[in-house]
Amino acid sequence: MVGWLREWGFRGVRSLRSRFCFGLLGIALAAFAAAEDDSLLARLQGMHLDESPGAVPVLYVAAAKDRALGYQDLEQAAHAWYEEQLLLRAPLTLAVLDRGHYQDPRVALGWPMPYSITQGQSVIVFPTHIEDLAPDGPSTKMPGEHILYHETGHIVAHAMGIASGNNFANEIVADVFLAAYVHAKRPELAWALAGPPSDFKKPLRYMSLADLDYLDTGVGFENYLWFQANLRHAGDFLVHGEDFAGVAAKLRQAFPASAKKQESVNEIVARLDGMRPGFREMLGPLAGPSTLPLIQPSACREGSDSGRRSGVAIYNKTNAPLTVTLPKGDSQTLPPQSWSSFPVNAGASIGLSDGSCVVAIDEPALAIVE
C-alpha cells in the first residue's frame, strides 16, 4: 500500500493533474484502518510537533501556529455542536501539517490531501495550505474550513455506527453532517453546498456516480472536484429543512456499520430516495450507469506492458471468492459480489483464479467476472 501511495499519491495539484490516482482515498483509508489502534496518532506524537490542548487537541508545526489554532477554534465549535445535537461523544485529535511533514514516511500521504482516520483514537490530518488543493469560496473564517467539517462528519458518523462499503455513500453521509452544521451555525458557507459552479471546466469525462464508485480519485483532479461538489449538494438535499438528529438516525438505519458491504449505486440511491423523495431525480445523470468500457477476461500476455498508466476495476459478480494477481506478483482476494480497483499500466495482465487474465487498455476500464 505504501508503495502505491508514494507512486500514485497527491504530490500537489500539478502532479495530481498529470497522474492517474486510481482509488487513492479508498486504498489509503483502508490501509490505515488495518493498522494498529492509535498507530497514526502515536506516529504523529512521535514527530515532536507543538500541541495545543483543548476539547479537540491540535498537533501542529510551529511555523503554522496561528493557522492551526484558528482551525482548532473552528473545529471545537463544530465538534461540540455535533455532540450536543446527537447526544454522543466522538473524541478526536486535529493535526495541522506542512508539506514536509506530509511527506514524512510516518504519515505516508501526499500533499495536500486532508483525511480522517477512525481506528483507535480518531484523527483529522489537515494541510497548512489547503489552498494548494483547490480555490476557496467567500465568507470563510479559515481557508477550506468546510472541508474540515466534512472530515469531522466522517468521524461523528463512525461514532454513530454509520458506514457503507461504497466510498461515495460515505462521502454523502459526511456531507449531510457538513450541511447540517452550515445551515445551523455557518450559513455564510452555503456556497459550498450549491453544487459545481456554472463556470466549472468542461467537458468532463465521468459524470456517473457508478464511475466514481469504481475509480474514486482515478477520475482525475478536476472531475473529482466536480463530483465532490455534487456530493455536497446531495448531502444538503437530504438534510436541508429536516431535523438533523432524525436524518442521522435514518442514515444509521440505512447504513449500519455492523452490516457494511458494497452495493450497487442503484440500491444506495433507492434507499436515499426513500429517505428523501426526489433524491434520485435531483441527482439526474449522476444516478446513471457506468460509462467505463467493459473488458472481458482473456488469455494472459507476456511482455505487453506499455508503460502508460491506466487501471482496471474488477467486479467479482460470482458467489465465490476471486483471487486477483497483479503484474508484480501481489495477490488480493475479492469476496463474492464485490469489486476493487487496481492501478496498472496499459497492456499489463492481471491474473484471475481460473488462469485467465484481464488486460488493461489505454483508459480506465471495468471487468465483470460472472
CA gap 122, 156 in Å, rounded: 10
Q: What pTM does this model have?
A: 0.88
Summarize pLDDT for 129-160 with one digit per residue, the tens.
998 877 777 778 999 999 999 999 999 999 99
pLDDT at position 108 over 90: no
pLDDT of residue 202: 74
Task: Give, as one character, the DSSP assignment of residue 51.
Answer: E
CA gap 295, 152 in Å, rounded: 39
Summarize pLDDT for 67-87 with one digit per residue, the tens.
999 999 999 999 999 999 999
Nearest CA to 23 among 8, 3, 7, 2?
8
Give the least confident one: 181-195, 207-221, 244-258. 207-221
Grid cell of 145 as nine digits: 474550513
Q: Is 370 helix (H, G, I), strand (E, B) or coil?
A: coil
pLDDT of residue 285: 93
Provide CATH code, domain 309-369: 2.60.40.780
- What is the 3-class SS of 318-354, one letter each residue? CCCCEEEECCCCCEEEECCCEEEEEEEECCCEEEECC
Query: Span 186-214, mean pLDDT?
Result: 90
Q: Is 50 helix (H, G, I), strand (E, B) or coil?
A: strand
pLDDT of residue 304: 72
Contact yes or no for 61/50 (Cβ under 8 A)? yes
Query: Span 314-324, mean pLDDT?
Result: 95
pLDDT of residue 20: 34
Distances (CA, A) of 134 to 17, 129, 185: 12, 10, 24
Provide CATH code, domain 2-287: 1.10.390
Where are the chain's structural domains?
2-287, 309-369
Q: Which of 6-10, 26-30, 277-281, 360-364 has the highest mean pLDDT?
A: 277-281
pLDDT of residue 12: 28
- What letters, b where the CB count within 10 A reaches 16 and e where it falls short, cover 215-250? bbbbbbbbbbbbbbbbbbbbbbbbbbebebeebbeb
* Average per-residue pLDDT for the chain: 87
Same fold, 2-287 and 309-369: no
